[in-house]
Structure 1
């Protein structure tokens, strides 16, 4: 028997098995877009320094507080700073301040992807210069095709807080890397 005939049999058998079992083929659809227009490091402060985190600006203040609390957790996890203060009043007594903005949080449901956009700014309080500024956008959804029914299936998109937490964890990891790198001079 030729190799071509064997390959055709294997593909046919696999197709029949998929059809009988009623499987759905799922393809995740994820996009991440990041821009870091300002990245001057964090003065080599490393683990010895402190940062104050302010609630993020958001349409709903509870989302801003939620994002600030999660950012604090992720910075502590990454050991970016020795002391991390979450301050809802705006009083700052640390060398750095982290502020952010949730530009949009959108739950896509079953027909479109969920989308999140967050911008983070780390400011040096001694001179007022922005040392780190990042804008991150993420979207995630799922496309599926049911093999038995030969039709498209609609699966729910992930919740926006899942995307937000992923972005914040990624940004916290980047900030932690910058605290251990040598400082750059502002222009």
Structure 2
């Protein structure tokens, strides 16, 4: 996969108006976006003189929209208009609500077994982000998840996970 040598310039005035389209899933990882698409590219460089322009634009957008939650509006605005600068965060932020619900259930499953959110996140990153996929896990798959995330779990966590996924199907049913 090849990436262009020139990085797109930051323009705080682009996408002004109704042509704000969210990034398509097909553009992820093709080099059309910044670093978060899984392709290993870098985020576009933002010149420091563009920051005041962006803040001015954000103030204008907030004044026009008058949102009830300005922080959420700001994050949403940045995700819609500048996803290449957020290294994949926009894709997570605009993720499908049903998938978010599944991931929440996975987090609750881990919390029920007194396993922290960090471990839950590692399972989701490795593709085990639904309760159905967790039912297919065996104690042997835990090493693959640990390797896929590039982490080394503390011995106590590993033992608790091995015990938990030894009888995982029983726990979920």
Output the TM-score relative to the length of structure 2: 0.21
Output the TM-score relative to the length of structure 1: 0.20
Give the strand-richer structure, 1 or 2: 1
Report the structure number with the largest CA radius of gyration.
1
Give the helix-richer structure, 1 or 2: 2
Flag the structure with more relative contact order, 1 or 2, with Cα contacts below 8 A and sequence separation at least 6: 1
